[in-house]
A and B are shown apart, each in its own frame.
Chain A
Amino acid sequence: MTRWGMVIDLARCIGCNACTVACKTENGTPPDHYWARVYTEERGTFPNTKITYVPALCNHCQDAPCVTVCPTGASHQRNDGIVLIDRDKCIGCRACMMACPYNNRFFLRKRALKTGYYGERTAYEDAKWKWFIGGTVTKCTFCVHRVDKGLEPACVVTCPTEARVFGDLEDPDSKPSVMIRKRNGKQPLPEMGTNPSVYYVE
């Protein structure tokens, strides 16, 4: 069976936010919604400063707390490991947002869809926002609509440094599996016991 996953190469990432924006346009996410984004982590003191760019997205956890707490079954996991929200079932209780340790879920306020990015909706937003229902929670879908067509997620395709590698974690020879093995891939916040499908290598 397939288990879709991603490895993020922190050595390659330059924090340019191409993924952040590609995600926004692929999925047409409304203002304040950052399904993909890049954190800047700063440690140490001048001149011994260390800055790391850490891209983030839904980890599509195998033990997903968001799915457990969802009272309606809107949050669910497919057989290939992708965690999705059924926008027709979500009631907007936001329990999943409390359960997700990674801050990867976004509540879509109804008025956000009315005003759009410019205070008035553009033709682009009209075309893109058909997807969204106000009053529900949204999140990264691993670009399931692309993956089901055999394409890679938009953030992966655009990444100038190829810091995001997508593939089947069940297949030991897939690119992400090899990277995890060879470069000691680590899941984020393992103490949460969520078993993410996203790994980081340094």
Chain B
Amino acid sequence: MKARVSTSDRWVQSVCKMCLHGCGIRVHVENGIVTKIEGDPTNPDNLGKLCPKGNIGMLRLYDPKRVKAPMVRTNPKKGPGEDPRWKEISWDEAMELVEKRLKPIRETDPRKLVVASGDFQRIFNWAWPAAFGSPHFFSTVGQYCGAAYHPINGITDTSFAAVNDYEHCKYWLQVGAGDGFSSHLHLSGSAKRMADARMNGMRVVTVEPRMSPAAAKADEWVPIRPGTDRAFALGLMHSMVLEHKLYDAEFLRQRTNAPYLIGSGGTYVLSPEGKAMVWDSVAGKAREWDDPDIAELALEGRYDVDGVACAPGFQLFVDILETHSPERMEEVCTVPAATMRRLAYELGEAARIGETIEIEGKEYPYRPAAVNYYRGAIAHKDGGQDSMALKMVNTLLGNIDVPGGHLGVPLDLRGFFIEPGEHGMLKPQPHILHPPVPFKFPADSLQMMEWFPLGMDAGHVAVDAILNPERYRLDYTPEVLLTYHSNPVWNMPAPDKVRRALEKFEYIISIDVVVNPTTEWADLILPDHTYLESTVAVSLEPPVVKGLALRQAVVPPIYNTRDATEILIDIADRCGFLDVWNGFLSLLLGLTVREDLVLAPDQKYSNEELIDRMCRAAYDDTHDLEWFRANGHMVTKRNAAETYLPYDGLRIPFYYETIKAAGDQLKAQFEGTGYDWDTSAYVALPAWCDGPIHGENPDYPLYAITFKTAETNFAETMSIPVISELTKGAAQTRGVLLNPRTAQRCGVADGDPIEIVSRFGRVEGTAALTEGLHPDVVAVANAITGNGRKLGTHFNTLLPSELEYTDVFSGALESVARVQVRKLVKEGVA
């Protein structure tokens, strides 16, 4: 397969990669130059719409500051301000250098290689370190966004993400999320669906500290103190359950484990046959959950089953709610109790509990009211509980995966992973990105993945471990770091610690398209193609639709770059594990469905051959790479059967017994090691408790938050001058946002230079005053955290990376910092 010859004027269908998703695009190529990018109107995902980032993708391609050839550092001194004195070398020389470093490690102790990956569209390459034998993850994979979200989604309904039903929802309570307005899950199509829904009369209520677009466009904005969304959810549920009695008891009885009896240990009460028990309130006795004679399942009450005191999971939650009155929660989250009560009523009423709807010839429950939440609400020290609490509002409303409600969004075209689990439950899938890592002490992985049975790889723990090997009982020393489309200095908390960790590596190799604050530390840079020069089939968390779309080389590579997939294959070959990697790839690309598509162990395949097989495996031989090149995509709208209750007949958790049980098991595993590992975060039901950022703090009175706007995503986006010029002038991103009264208290005026200081770091910025901000809050847009090449008002500098601030269940990091703000007085100026 040869690179296509450019004609003078053509439009090419492809997939965007200006954020981690992948909207359909059509690219205009005139005389070999990409001159315009538009949304692909044939793609039902984004329907021809395209966000600002997608529109400007050609400047990623033509950025004169791209890495144009393999480069080796000639200045042995590293660090900020140190010129690496790059020298261009040939690919052969570069790959020999890699082989020289990695082959001995691979042959002796592969753990000495540490990898940081961030290439979301080629997510299969994330498994490359595992094939090498390196268990590490040295980057963030959702510590500020989805770490607490994905496991709860996966445990609840095997989905990766989740979003409310744009088509049928009528009351949308948005908590700390950008869905439909500024970010997350294929923004362009989501924004279109959200706008249509709003114009069709859907009510939107947005709960968040800052008046983001989601709040500005909402029918009601409910400002909240950062990091207290769980308190809001608990106050709301208190009112729903105990005051308004507005919840879907039938749903809870028939489709969840809410009636399952829970013993004092927090796990199911089991029958002698090992089956979960329920209480039949008509018969007045406990029965196995699947006993056909059950007359009515009790949700409430306290029972004694063969001498074991127990209660349905629902009752245990009611017990918790009793102590979480709206008044008590108001003190925590600042949302007035009366507002919580009103919203609870509105939400419960709008859910139309008991009603059904017929779609595509099948009758479903109709619950057109739902809570939609994301990182703002859950990227906290107790993120798992935050995520659980907000999910449970939906479970109470009976709206999980039903029309109008809160819908699971699968990771890719594989859809939901539906397997029956124990006790009539849907089998939980907390790990959708990679299989669970069995417990081991001491752990092999720097991020201690062996100690996170349900959570996500917490890259910041790896930093902590490199700096404090004895604390984590490391019995080896990492030697080489490979960063692959990843920028840990920017994307991880406490960059000073990240830099100190980087100093520990003997050698750093970076695969990337531009130089950034991390590649600055590299000894060797291997330049990848940009997304407009390379080919891969993509299907990543699209809500509403499914199917592969082809991101294809729209123009031939303009510099001496190589496809990252081929670079990694080449390294595997040189280091002697090509057979292992080919085995992984066969699985990851879905080739094992057809024997003839499975990769031969010792053959080096080109990227295009792999993508061709991937397409044929997903569909058939007609739908090969050439077909996709000509036709763009196979994306279609998910039908009702795939969307609504696809696991009909299996129960989902109300009581998160899986989490409690996993915590108990982990605790048992640590016994005898003498090692103190906190397992208290493994709870089956959420409750409020103050975390390290809550409460009065006279030294650091304010709460610093960060947020994303539609114009920006990665640090890489900010290196595009059109975006940086635009965001400098846009209201949300023109500076560090402060409420005018807060600013006045701090002696700060609009446009003043300021410093923001937390216990962990200090950053400088420019004050921008807005009435659209909670007075307790300082808001830092990611657009001002750096220009892609240098750090700016770098929010993560304010954050810690200690376990004390990490949710040890999910891996989420507390993403709110307590800070003080001062007017910056330049030294030497009176």
Interface residues of A (CB under 8 A from B): 11-12, 14-18, 20-22, 24-26, 28, 31-32, 34, 38, 40, 42, 44-47, 49, 51-53, 117-118, 120, 122-128, 154, 157-163
Cα separation A34 to B181 with both chains bound (whole Å):
22
Contacts of B36 in A (CB 8 A): 25-26, 154
Q: Is the CB of B192 within 8 A of A161?
A: yes
Q: Among the listed stretches B209-217, B567-575, B587-595, which one makes contact with chain A, having 4 or more residues with CB under 8 Å of it?
A: B209-217
Q: Distance (Å) between the CB of B41 and the closest chain A CB? A: 9
Contacts of B58 in A (CB 8 A): 25, 124
Q: Is the CB of A51 within 8 A of B710?
A: no
Contacts of B83 in A (CB 8 A): none
Cα separation A21 to B54 with both chains bound (whole Å):
9
User: Within 8 Å of chain A (Cβ to Cβ): is B156?
Assistant: no
Q: Is the CB of B55 within 8 A of A25?
A: yes
User: Within 8 Å of chain A (Cβ to Cβ): is B457?
Assistant: no
Partner among A38, A47, A154 whose Cβ is within 8 Å of the Cβ of B223: A47
Residue of A nearest to B725 (CB): A31
Known: A11-B199, A14-B710, A162-B195. A122 touches B771 (CB 8 A): no
Known: A25-B58, A47-B223, A127-B31. A14 touches B191 (CB 8 A): yes
Known: A17-B711, A21-B726, A118-B64. A124 touches B34 (CB 8 A): yes
Partner among B55, B63, B65, B723 whose Cβ is within 8 Å of the Cβ of A22: B55
Identify which of B63, B181, B216 gathers the most chain A CB atoms within 10 Å of its CB: B216
Q: Distance (Å) between the CB of B46 and the closest chain A CB? A: 8
User: Within 8 Å of chain A (Cβ to Cβ): is B647?
Assistant: no
Chain B interface, DSSP helix/strand/loop, else mixed: mixed
Cα separation A12 to B213 with both chains bound (whole Å):
11
Q: Is the CB of A11 within 8 A of B62?
A: no
Contacts of A32 in B (CB 8 A): 725
Contacts of B187 in A (CB 8 A): 16, 160
Known: A42-B771, A127-B30, A160-B191. A18 touches B49 (CB 8 A): yes
Q: Is the CB of A163 within 8 A of B64?
A: no
Known: A18-B710, A24-B56, A160-B187. A49 touches B62 (CB 8 A): no
Q: Distance (Å) between the CB of B14 and the closest chain A CB? A: 15
Contacts of B181 in A (CB 8 A): 14
Cα separation A62 to B723 with both chains bound (whole Å):
33
Partner among A49, A124, A157 whose Cβ is within 8 Å of the Cβ of B771: A49
Contacts of B49 in A (CB 8 A): 18, 158-160, 162
Q: Is the CB of B726 within 8 A of A14?
A: no
Cα separation A17 to B31 with both chains bound (whole Å):
28
Would you give the 0/1 interface string for B285-296, flagging 1 where the beta carbon is closer than 8 Å to chain A? 000000000000
Cα separation A18 to B558 with both chains bound (whole Å):
27
Q: Is the CB of B65 within 8 A of A127?
A: no
Q: Is the CB of B223 within 8 A of A46?
A: yes
Q: Is the CB of A118 within 8 A of B65?
A: yes
Partner among B46, B51, B64 whose Cβ is within 8 Å of the Cβ of A16: B51
User: Within 8 Å of chain A (Cβ to Cβ): is B37?
Assistant: yes
Contacts of A44 in B (CB 8 A): 771
Contacts of B223 in A (CB 8 A): 46-47
Contacts of A15 in B (CB 8 A): 213, 216, 710
Known: A46-B773, A49-B771, A127-B30. A14 touches B213 (CB 8 A): yes
22 contacts across the A-B interface (CB closer than 8 A): A16-B711, A18-B50, A21-B53, A21-B711, A21-B722, A22-B38, A22-B50, A22-B55, A25-B55, A31-B721, A44-B771, A45-B771, A46-B773, A49-B771, A120-B64, A122-B63, A123-B62, A124-B35, A127-B31, A158-B49, A159-B49, A161-B195
User: Within 8 Å of chain A (Cβ to Cβ): is B39?
Assistant: yes
Cα separation A42 to B59 with both chains bound (whole Å):
32
Residue of B nearest to A48 (CB): B771
B residues 48-81 near A (Cβ < 8 Å) are: 48-56, 58-59, 61-65
Partner among B37, B63, B195 whose Cβ is within 8 Å of the Cβ of A12: B195
Q: Distance (Å) between the CB of B339 and the closest chain A CB? A: 10
User: Within 8 Å of chain A (Cβ to Cβ): is B134?
Assistant: no
Partner among A24, A42, A128, A160 whose Cβ is within 8 Å of the Cβ of B192: A160
User: Within 8 Å of chain A (Cβ to Cβ): is B188?
Assistant: yes
Residue of A nearest to B34 (CB): A124
Q: Is the CB of A49 within 8 A of B211?
A: yes
Contacts of A125 in B (CB 8 A): 62
Cα separation A124 to B530 with both chains bound (whole Å):
15
Contacts of A17 in B (CB 8 A): 52, 710-711, 726, 730
Partner among B33, B182, B198, B710 whose Cβ is within 8 Å of the Cβ of A124: B33
Identify which of B30, B62, B182 gathers the most chain A CB atoms within 10 Å of its CB: B62
B residues 735-783 near A (Cβ < 8 Å) are: 739, 741, 770-775
Q: Is the CB of B59 within 8 A of A122?
A: yes
Which 9 A-B residue pairs are closest in the complex by CB-CB distance? A40-B731, A16-B710, A161-B195, A160-B191, A51-B216, A122-B62, A21-B52, A21-B55, A117-B721
Cα separation A34 to B199 with both chains bound (whole Å):
29
Contacts of B534 in A (CB 8 A): none
Count B-side interface residues using an 8 Å CB cutoff: 64
B residues 12-55 near A (Cβ < 8 Å) are: 30-31, 33-39, 46, 48-55
Q: Is the CB of B739 within 8 A of A123?
A: no
User: Within 8 Å of chain A (Cβ to Cβ): is B732?
Assistant: yes
Contacts of A22 in B (CB 8 A): 38, 50, 52, 55
Cα separation A159 to B191 with both chains bound (whole Å):
9
User: Within 8 Å of chain A (Cβ to Cβ): is B221?
Assistant: yes
Residue of B nearest to A43 (CB): B771
Given A117-B721, A118-B64, A122-B59, 16 more pairs with CB closer than 8 A: A11-B198, A18-B54, A18-B710, A21-B56, A21-B726, A25-B35, A25-B56, A42-B731, A46-B772, A47-B223, A49-B211, A117-B725, A118-B721, A154-B38, A160-B49, A160-B51
Cα separation A38 to B731 with both chains bound (whole Å):
10
Q: Is the CB of B726 within 8 A of A20?
A: yes
Partner among A47, A52, A118, A158 whose Cβ is within 8 Å of the Cβ of B39: A158
Cα separation A118 to B724 with both chains bound (whole Å):
12
Partner among B30, B50, B195 whose Cβ is within 8 Å of the Cβ of A14: B195
Residue of B nearest to A47 (CB): B223
Cα separation A131 to B37 with both chains bound (whole Å):
19
Cα separation A154 to B28 with both chains bound (whole Å):
13
B residues 141-166 near A (Cβ < 8 Å) are: none
Q: Distance (Å) between the CB of A139 and the closest chain B CB? A: 18
Contacts of A42 in B (CB 8 A): 731, 770-772
Contacts of B199 in A (CB 8 A): 11-12
Cα separation A63 to B56 with both chains bound (whole Å):
35
Q: Is the CB of B65 within 8 A of A117?
A: no
Partner among A46, A117, A127, A163 whose Cβ is within 8 Å of the Cβ of B722: A117
Residue of A nearest to B190 (CB): A160
Q: Distance (Å) between the CB of B49 and the closest chain A CB? A: 4
Residue of A nearest to B55 (CB): A21
Q: Distance (Å) between the CB of B737 and the closest chain A CB? A: 11
Q: Distance (Å) between the CB of B529 and the closest chain A CB? A: 16
Identify which of B50, B198, B773 gathers the most chain A CB atoms within 10 Å of its CB: B50
Contacts of B34 in A (CB 8 A): 124
Contacts of B192 in A (CB 8 A): 160-162
Q: Distance (Å) between the CB of B67 and the closest chain A CB? A: 15
Residue of A nearest to B23 (CB): A160
Q: Is the CB of A16 within 8 A of B721?
A: no
Cα separation A122 to B730 with both chains bound (whole Å):
25
Residue of B nearest to A46 (CB): B771
Contacts of B730 in A (CB 8 A): 17, 38, 40
B residues 188-212 near A (Cβ < 8 Å) are: 188-189, 191-192, 194-195, 198-199, 211
Contacts of A40 in B (CB 8 A): 730-732
Partner among A18, A127, A161, A163 whose Cβ is within 8 Å of the Cβ of B55: A18
Contacts of A124 in B (CB 8 A): 33-35, 58-59, 61-62
Known: A14-B217, A42-B771, A51-B216. A158 touches B55 (CB 8 A): yes
Known: A40-B730, A52-B216. A18 touches B52 (CB 8 A): yes
Contacts of B54 in A (CB 8 A): 18
Cα separation A31 to B725 with both chains bound (whole Å):
8
